[in-house]
Amino acid sequence: MRLAGRLGSQGLEPAMAAGIRAGRKGPGSRKAASRFANWIRDKVLADGCPDTGCGIKLYRRDAYLELPYFTSMHRYLPALFLTYGHEIAYEAVNDRPRLRGASKYTNLGRALIGLYDLVGVSWLRKRTLIPLIAEDVSGAGAGVLLDKVDAGAGPGLGAHQRSVNQGG
């Protein structure tokens, strides 16, 4: 599993590895809605996530537990991980069609829930302050609070945050 190999171990980056659906299958209306939703998300959050609709996401437990919990947060995990100072790696994965059952959402229903949560995540990112702590490398085990970084600064990311955007 190539995607699991991209994930950092405890305390190491990247804290999240996410799939990007290659050779996407499904109805044209669903693909168009997904492209439009990803475009809107990127304009508002500027998180650089190319395909947040891909359900394949792996992350370190310690990093995940730092995040605020809310329903439907799965749509915004890349933005949240970046807000809390973590890196993300992306990897192309095979898109597999649904074998059984039917979706509970229409494009409109999914859009309304997504927009509501997008406003909330945007609000949260603008008000989140992440403390920067320098570790003492002398062996004394002390940490020093250097500054607080506005995680909502600039185009949606604080200066200390970065995304490892590698597909393929």
Structural domain of 41: 2-127
Which of 118, 129, 124, 122 is closest to 159 using CA atoms?
129
Using DSSP, state whether 81 is helix, strand or coil.
helix
Rg (CA), the chain: 17
Which of 85, 68, 76 is closest to 13 using CA atoms?
85
Classify residue 161 by burial, with Cβ atoms within 10 Å: 0-12, 13-18, 19+.
buried
pTM tops 0.85, yes or no: no
For residue 24, being part of any structural domain is answered with yes
For residue 149, being part of any structural domain is answered with no
Query: What is the count of structural domains for the chain?
Result: 1
For residue 137, being part of any structural domain is answered with no
For residue 150, being part of any structural domain is answered with no
For residue 144, being part of any structural domain is answered with no
For residue 153, being part of any structural domain is answered with no
pLDDT tens string for the chain (168 positions)? 576 777 666 666 889 999 998 888 777 878 888 888 889 989 999 888 988 888 889 999 999 999 998 888 888 999 999 999 899 999 899 888 778 887 777 778 778 888 888 998 999 888 887 655 555 555 555 554 445 455 554 444 433 333 333 333
The reported pLDDT for the residue numbered 115 is: 86
Cα separation, 52 vs 67, whole angstroms: 17
The reported pLDDT for the residue numbered 134 is: 52
The reported pLDDT for the residue numbered 157 is: 41
